[in-house]
Amino acid sequence: MPIRLSQLFLRTLREDPADAEVNSHRLLVRAGYIRRAAPGVYTWLPLGLAVKAKIERVVREEMANAGAQEVFFPALLPREPFEATNRWTEYGDNLFRLQDRKKADYLLAPTHEEMFTLLVKDLYSSYKDLPVCLYQIQNKYRDEARPRAGLLRGREFVMKDAYSFDLTDEGLTASYRAQRDAYERIFTRLGVDYVIVKADAGAMGGSASEEFLSPSPIGEDTFVRSPGGYAANVEAVTTVAPEALPINGLPEAKVHPSPNTPTIETLVALANKDVPRTDGRLWNAGDTLKNVVLALTSPEGKRSLVVVGLPGDREVDAKRAEAAFSPNEVEPASEADFAANPELVKGYIGPVKNGQQVLGIKGSSKIRYLLDPRVVDGTAWITGANEDQKHVFDLVKGRDFDADGVVDIAEVRAGDPAPDGSGPLELARGIEIGHVFQLGRKYAEALGLQVLDENGKLVTVTMGSYGIGVTRLVAVLAEANNDEKGLIWPEAVSPADVYVVAAGKDDHVYAAAEQLVAQLESAGKTVIFDDRVKVSPGVKFGDAELIGVPNILIVGKGLEQGEVDLWNRRSGERRSVPLESAVAELVK
């Protein structure tokens, strides 16, 4: 049966919804695919459900091809398994928590590592049972601080999440590869542009990890790529540390007054005026060492400070900092933090060495001091003197100061070298559509998933987890496929194969259109049929463009000449063809 617009539960909108920030959100609401029910929570209308179902079918087929088996977990889960892995706490405010009538703690699952681990533990006990890969397509919940962009970052959303279970690391690598290959097939079949980038594996406690990003100017993820094929999200880019330099012969450090230098620029200007370099070159921002105070909050709510020294021409990248300090939350130190730690002289913070005063630099802070990887032994810096309105010059790492460790959280910039030597990086934005992850044994250890190996010895299973944002894909596809008139779906996900418009008032237009619809359906095509009698052709064409089925068949005034129009929504090409060949053209 065709979807008849005379019956379809649909109301297209001329106006953009007030809360829509991006094209996909705007158009999916206007074209009647989704409606907002609460912030970050959406209702699927019939057309939206059709697109979602097509994506799910492709995902299921490729999961089956990859040997993964479908199961279905509850979304409402007890606290205990998440307590065992500490994620009950680590998830912080992102987790929806609730209690049942007996005051037992529950959560709405943001992901299901724990439950899959426990299920395999429940059913399996021998190496002969492995490998196994399980998946589900299921509603997930995350209490996002800022749900945005419609389906792109929702609080209730559909994910395909898969989990592999292997005895050995080689097995995990193979399972990971099988899912990664399936993801490539899925995104290719769906017509989604994607880049595979190295991802930061730290937070999940695993080893290898890659993200599938769909390049998009509205993407929340920044990633880098090099001409030689390196690609990573910014959190995962590692900075190549330069070689250490010889310390012998470097000028001595000296403190110099530096009033009115609130910024790196003013400091550099003062330096070039008052303390010119002996080698004739000019000081620049990269010669300064900026010491940034960050406040870390652990999942348990414990707050601590850390000082990070990095070249003054780089800012701290918030996402890289979050990744590096995960599971802590990171924010700039507050006025209260500075007030509580008077040794941190705001604007003039300098390094310390072994917690001791360095030269004329005051302070012996107990606060952890970390350095950017570029700050290697033998590099000399202009930096704060830990004293108001004073800086120190020619302070040499390895001679005058040291750090408690290295932290790689400075921003990545276009032109930075790829860590694998494959050339300068370029930056782009993308939307995360998939994530493949070698979890390793973290969850199996926490939850006691062991099996007997060939020798009757208990061994801990190694796991992978693999996610695709199903509802997010609807938005990604809408975002990448639209124009000012509306959506333009790739054929693989279009809510129908053909959109038939009966344009006119005469009964024979509708009769001819009905016949064509029946023929198309006999040929296996799904059809949306605009059979509304009292709607003008102009409105019908507008709705057709808005709804975005790629192939449109117009039955209208050409009918008297025995012709109908084929309209390619993507190219805009519209041409008349004989009535009797229309179906053949659309089926071929």
Which residues make up the interface to a copy of itself (CB under 8 A)?
1, 7-11, 32, 35, 37-38, 41-46, 49, 52, 64, 67, 69-78, 93, 96-98, 100-101, 106, 108, 115, 119, 122-124, 132, 134, 139, 141, 143, 145, 155-156
Q: Kindly state the smallest distance separating residue 21's Cβ from a copy of itself, in Å.
A: 19
Question: Which CB atom, from 186 or from 231, has the smaller least distance to a copy of itself?
Answer: 186
Spatial neighbors of 166 by CB under 8 A, at least 6 apart, are: 130, 131, 172, 174, 175, 461, 462, 463, 464
Of 43 and 304, which CB lies nearer to a copy of itself in the complex structure? Answer: 43
SS3 51: helix
CB of 580 to a copy of itself, least distance (A): 30
Nearer to a copy of itself, 9 or 354 (CB): 9
Helix axis angle, 46-65 to 169-190, nearest 10° = 140
Phi-psi region of 532 (alpha: psi -120 to 50; beta: other; left: phi over 0): beta
Longest CA span, the chain: 97
Q: Kindly report the number of other CB atoms within 10 A of residue 216's CB atom.
A: 21
Name which of 470 and 586 has its Cβ closer to a copy of itself: 470
Alpha helices by DSSP H, listed for 355-469, are 442-447
Cβ at position 477, least distance to a copy of itself in Å: 18
Spatial CA neighbour of 495 closest among 39, 37, 48, 101: 48
Give least dist CB 6 to a copy of itself, A.
Answer: 10
Half-sphere exposure of 107 (CA within 13 A, CB side): 25
Burial profile 319-330: b = 16 or more Cβ within 10 angstroms, e = fewer: bbbbbbbbbbbb
Residue 143 contacts by C-beta under 8 Å, 6 or more apart in sequence? Answer: 93, 94, 95, 96, 155
Residue 535 Cβ vs a copy of itself, minimum distance, rounded to whole Å? 11
Residue whose CB is less far from a copy of itself, 62 or 372:
62
CB of 42 to a copy of itself, least distance (A): 7
Closer residue to a copy of itself, CB minimum distance, 155 or 180: 155
Q: How many residues appear in the chain?
A: 588
Selection from 27, 1, 23 nearest residue 14 by Cα: 27
Task: State in angstroms the smallest separation of the CB of 557 from a copy of itself.
Answer: 26
CB of 390 to a copy of itself, least distance (A): 44
Nearest distance in Å: CB 115, a copy of itself: 7
Cα angle, residue 25 at apex, residues 19 and 29 outer, rounded to 5°: 85
Of the two residues 32 and 548, which places its CB atom closer to a copy of itself in the complex? 32
> Which residue, 36 or 189, has its beta carbon nearer to a copy of itself?
36
Rounded to 5°, angle at Cα 476 from 181 and 410: 80
Supply the minimum distance, in Å, between the C-beta of residue 14 and a copy of itself.
Answer: 14
Among residues 2 and 312, whose Cβ is nearest to a copy of itself? 2
- Residue 147 Cβ, how far from a copy of itself at the closest point, in Å? 10
Do you find a cis peptide bond into 131, omega within 30 degrees of 0? yes
Nearer to a copy of itself, 46 or 229 (CB): 46
Q: Which residues contact residue 34 at a Cβ distance below 8 angstroms, ignoring those fewer than 6 apart?
A: 28, 42, 43, 44, 45, 48, 150, 151
Closest to a copy of itself by CB, 483 vs 514, is: 514
Phi, psi at 579, each rounded to 5°: -45, -45
Distance of CA 375 to the CA centre of its chain: 30
Are the CB atoms for 153 and 108 separated by under 8 Å? no
